[in-house]
Amino acid sequence: MERFPALISLLLLFMATEIVTTSVERENKSSSAGLIWSTAKEEGDLVHKAGHADDSTAAADDVDGGFSSLEGMLQWAIGHSDPAKLKESAQDVQRLSPSELRQRQLEIKELMEKFKMPSDAQLMQIALDDLSNSSLSLEDRHRALQELLILVEPIDNANDMCKLGGLGVIIRELDHPDSDVRKFSAWILGKASQNNPYVQKQVLELGALATLMKLVNSSSADEATKAFYAVSALIRNNVAGQQLFFAEAGDKMLQDILSSTSMDVRLRRKAVFLVGDLAECQLENIDKAEMPFFSNQFFLKSVVDLTASSDLDLQEKALVAIKNLLQLRTTEAMVFKEFCRLDDALERMKKQLEDLMLDEDHREYVTDVESLRKEVELSFQAKLGNVRTVPT
């Protein structure tokens, strides 16, 4: 906030020069020999009008982070100025010659440029230029990536980063020897691709999916989790992305994560959530052939076995995935019953949830999970019933 008094003075001087310059121009066009100058009444009107400006505009500009436009800066300065000082500044400037006025105006405009905040696109370009600098320190590289992580969140900014050629720069960072650089780069790609078909298409065409899938196997849990997040963001609601994912043995990657009890629980949660999401996407695209891995008994068992986890969040996500898988045409009820032992798993989970109900702090959440478990049980019984009613 320390810069505001200086900014006010600067803007007042700028306004004064604008007013005097306008007056000089009007004098040159007038037949009158006298200098035309705004009166105190006019200045008072100016301040009065500023006081009734749109509150939303004033609120947007009255922040210590720049102004959306020169007009906004001027309105803000008027609203924060003393009418007497405004008049005094105008009188001082009036004594300058026309050439001195023009020179002063140029100088003030140059100074005012320094108060302007760069746009998000300009900030992204600065960060991308930094990343393209091979001599950039690791600390500054982290800083540039963290800035981009914030900037790409709005969908328009993510699209702008594509147009700036930023995706290629970020994808190159996936091969950086530093784990944090790779983590932040994957995170940026995931955030930019989230629910954004335009960015998804660009990233997939640049071949980043295979690299991200390799990073999921990283020994760093944070890096692996962010890489998986990016993979999920790229293929969610994107049939072309899903086909590439399966071509890269994505089903095996999912099964390995789900089956490994030593895997970070965050990664397992994301993996089973993606399974449920992929199954739901398949249900929404009934005209598309169902992927073979959905009916793979070992894959299905890896999902059902998650219901025995001690992590309730993981159990809930597993139930959602099972519920969607049961609705697919190619999944077989008897595989769920005889190979996956789904009925036993649901009964075991029921008893576990009954015990958890005793904890008042978690009762509401546990009740929701139990409701979901019952839905899965009904879907399973319905699928079994359909099998039993089929004539032999």
Give residue 206's pLDDT.
96
Domains of the chain: 118-248 (1.25.10.10), 250-387 (1.25.10)
Whole-number CA gyration radius for the chain: 32
Cβ proximity of 152 and 114 under 8 Å: no
Give the pTM: 0.70
Give residue 11's pLDDT.
57
> What is the four-CA torsion angle of 308, 311, 313, 318, rounded to 10 degrees?
-20
Cβ proximity of 255 and 274 under 8 Å: no
Give residue 18's pLDDT.
58
Q: Quote the CA–CA distance of 87 and 268 in Å, as a whole number.
A: 69
DSSP annotation of 114 reads T
Q: Quote the CA–CA distance of 76 and 83 in Å, as a whole number.
A: 14
Q: Quote the CA–CA distance of 278 and 280 in Å, as a whole number.
A: 5
Q: Quote the CA–CA distance of 289 and 328 in Å, as a whole number.
A: 11
Give residue 112's pLDDT.
65
Per-residue pLDDT of the chain (392 residues; tens, 9 = 90+): 444 445 555 555 665 565 555 554 554 444 444 433 333 334 344 334 334 444 433 333 333 344 445 555 555 556 656 677 667 766 776 777 778 777 877 877 776 666 667 888 999 999 999 999 999 999 999 999 999 999 999 999 999 999 999 999 999 999 999 999 999 999 999 999 999 999 999 999 999 999 999 999 999 999 999 999 999 999 998 989 999 999 999 999 999 999 999 999 999 999 999 999 999 998 988 888 888 888 899 999 999 999 999 999 999 999 999 999 999 999 999 999 999 999 999 999 999 999 999 888 889 999 999 999 999 999 999 999 875 554 44
User: Look-up: residue for tokens 């994560």?
Assistant: 257
CA 303 vs CA 47, 222, 294: distances in Å: 69, 23, 11
* Tokens standing for residue 390: 């089929």
Give residue 103's pLDDT.
82
Nearest by Cα to 140 from 178, 108, 92, 104: 178
Give residue 57's pLDDT.
38
* Tokens standing for residue 143: 């800083």
The residue count of the chain comes to: 392
* Residues contacting 131, CB < 8 A, separation 6+: 141, 144, 145, 169, 170, 173
| First and final C-alpha spacing in the chain | 82
Give residue 33's pLDDT.
41
Burial of 311-336, coded b for 16+ CB within 10 Å and e otherwise, reads eeebbbbbbbbbbbbbebeebebeeb
